[in-house]
Structures are given as C-alpha cells and as structure tokens.
Amino acid sequence: MKLFSLDPLGLFAALAFAALIFLFTGPFAPSFAALLLIFLISGGLVTRYGQDRKRELTLYEYERSWENVLANGSVPVICAIAYAYLPAALWAYVGSVSAVAADKFASELGVLGGQPYSLPYLRKVRFGTSGAMSVLGTFASWDGGILIGISSYFLFPGLDGWDVLIISCIGVAGSFIDTLFGILENKGFGNKSTTNLLCSVAGALLGLILLGH
C-alpha cells in the first residue's frame, strides 16, 4: 500500500513541502505539519472508501502524482512560508487546507450515491463530472471542513467553537468554487490541477478575511 496514496514522486514532493513548513513556521511547525498530515491521511481513507463502486464507475484513482501534491499543497505551503513574516497567514493556511480537504471529501464520497447535477442549469450528468454537485457530495464536503476545523481547534490556540464552524464553512465554499471552475474545465479551460489550485487559493483568501482577527 502506497504511503498516503502517493507515488514516489508525489511522496518526494510531499516531503519537500513538509521540510519547508518546518523551516518557516518555528515553534508551531508540528501543528502546521500535523494539519496537513491529517488532510493526507483522511484523503487517502476517503479515496479507498467504496473503491469497488468507484472501479465500476472507472473513477478509482488511488495513487496520486507530484502534480496532485502541487495542486493541493502549493498554496498551504506558500501560506506557511508567509507565516514567518505575517502571522495572520496562519488563517490563510487553515482556510486553504479546509478547502482542499472539503473538495477531496466531496469528490471521493459524492460519487457513491445521489444524482449529480451540472451547474448552472442543474442537468443530470454522470458521476465524476467536473462542474457538478450532488446532495451527498455537498454534505461530504462539510465533513471535510469540519474535520479540519476541529483539528485546528486543538492544534492552534485562540480558536473557539464559532471559528470551527467558520473553518468548516470555508471548506464548503472552497469546494463549491472548485465546482464552479470545473464548469470551465469542461469547456477546455484548465484541468483538474488548476481547478484544485484555485480551490485552495479561495480557501486561503476566505481564511485570511474571516479568521484573521
């Protein structure tokens, strides 16, 4: 079984990102790294969950490459580096991780049930279509956001229950933004990696705005 569902180059990229996090985040380095580790582990678990059904739909993609690591991890790592110069970047970091986690939960669990509908016209589409949403996928995205919110509560001082709710909502919003950019992806503008990257950017901006108090 591959570690964190990453191929060798993906694992190398993840380790390089971990090194940058430890280099720039000082005393909070273990907390920064732990939050990203929680995303990696939970992402691997939801990817494996329901794998037989995903294989039937030809949607099972367990081993992830360095491109996937860059798409999901670049913005959190940039936020971690910025934290050395701007402490408020912590909240951008938390927001970006919440967004990518929520999107991961939505895409991996949403295909297991419930009819997906494409945006903006709410037409029925096949499972796994970019730019589509389902009720199950939406609730699953909230689960991903809540996981990061609760984890952040224990990892970073100064957060309260209201902040946990905000972090979970940031995750759902980031996942929704990923879906919106998925519409452009279907039209030939960008690909899954660029869509994931924009999802994490949206989460970082929302985290900075809503949590940077």
**For the chain (length 213 residues), average pLDDT per consecutive 10?**
68 91 94 94 88 78 79 95 95 97 92 82 79 88 96 94 96 92 79 89 96 79
Report the distance separating Cα 166 and Cα 19, nearest Å: 29
**What's the token pair of residue 76?**
């959190």
Report the distance separating Cα 11 and Cα 65, nearest Å: 8
- The model's pTM is 0.92
**What does the pLDDT read at residue 1?**
45
Report the distance separating Cα 131 and Cα 129, nearest Å: 6
**What does the pLDDT read at residue 62?**
65
